[in-house]
Amino acid sequence: MIPERMRVAMYYHNCDVRIEELPVPVIGSGELLIKIIASGICGSDVLEWYRVKKAPLVLGHEITGEVAAVGEGVERFGIGERVFVGHHVPCNTCRYCRAGQHTACQTLHSTNFDPGGFAQYVRAPAINVDRGTFILPDEVSYEAGSFIEPLACVVRGQRVAGFRPGMSVLVLGSGISGLLHIMLARAQGAGRIIATDINPWRVEQAKKFGADHVLDAREDVPARVRELNDSYPAELVIVCAGALSAFRQALASVDRGGTVLTFATTDPGVEIPLPANEFWRNSIRVMPSYANSPYDAQVAIELLRAGRVDVEPLITHRLPLEEAAEGFRLMAESATEKSIKVVIEPWG
């Protein structure tokens, strides 16, 4: 039986996350009510300058669960089925979607489920049910399934950056995004993979999860990359750290004909100096990647189902909803803490 009220983790700021009660959402035609089993804390959830202006709110978008109730007209899903639900979904009809730029779609930027995933239940609106809800394969645990959204973002990033097997890859920053990029690049047949970080523990994790070489980010990274890569810069440089120094290192570490993928973002108002003439002469691309499309989510699900990317070892903490505040602390301080991925289990 579905209760009338539920517990949620209400975000006020990174150091103030409170357990509160809200009514269980009421679903309508075409909608689903999802009982949340696992919800990952994303690095963007603790991007305080971005989140606090909308507080208080229930965050959490990396979710898996089971269908608790089905709205009128829903035929593809039944009560009790294991599912992943994407929070941002495109319209598939606008000029951006038709051009394959789904993450530039205004609908994608305005869709979400109700409330966030750090709750016992969420309502999936009809549009999310239609193009953002997928059956979670039996081979994929709920906890591993909470990686579908972040892995899909990584899939999209490498796809639009033109990744190809055999490429030399430099990953700047070995937090959760950096590690997923390392793992996906390795699974797709990258050549030499070099990673950086300033945290010795993260350096070890980057080695563990597939990097051939890991550098202290305070070194002369462009010079060291050339030493380790047969005197050449890297063909694909992926920025997974928001520090301006990482962006500068990226611009100085990319080979002719190569690509700099800015997967991370800076603080608002930060400008990155671009050597325009040099990049023009050497056919170098600089491009961002934000979010993912339903196609990328499907690819991520298959990568997990087939065991091509094994994300379970990335989970360092599994916490009940009551300890969500500790989870936010661990993620906010992940540069110094021994934490990679924190998963909240609302019924744990």
Cβ-contact 263, 250 below 8 angstroms: no
The model's pLDDT over 19-29, given as tens digits with 9 standing for 90+, comes to 999 999 999 99
The pLDDT tens digits of the residues spanning 135-181 come to: 999 999 999 999 999 999 999 999 999 999 999 999 999 999 999 99
Strands (E), the chain: 5-13, 16-23, 32-40, 62-70, 82-85, 121-124, 133-135, 169-172, 193-197, 213-216, 234-239, 254-262, 285-288, 315-320, 341-345
Structure confidence at residue 3 (pLDDT):
97
Q: What is the mean pLDDT of the chain?
A: 97
pLDDT for residue 348: 83
Structural domain 162-288, CATH architecture: 3-Layer(aba) Sandwich (3.40)
Confidence of residue 6 (pLDDT cuts 50, 70, 90): very high
Residue 337: which residues within 8 A CB-CB, separation 6 or more? 330
pTM passes above 0.75: yes
Q: What percent of the chain has pLDDT over 90?
A: 96
pLDDT tens readout for residues 185-240? 999 999 999 999 999 999 999 999 999 999 999 999 999 999 999 999 999 999 99
For 5-149+292-345, which CATH class? alpha beta
- CA torsion sign, 39 to 40 to 44 to 47? positive
pLDDT for the residue numbered 122: 98
Domain with CATH 3.40.50.720 in the chain: 162-288
Preceding peptide of 165 cis, ω within 30°? no
pLDDT computed for residue 337 by the predictor: 86
CA-closest candidate to residue 210, choices 192, 181, 239, 186: 186
Quick one: tokens of 3? 């209760």
- Domain boundaries for CATH 3.90.180.10 within the chain: 5-149+292-345
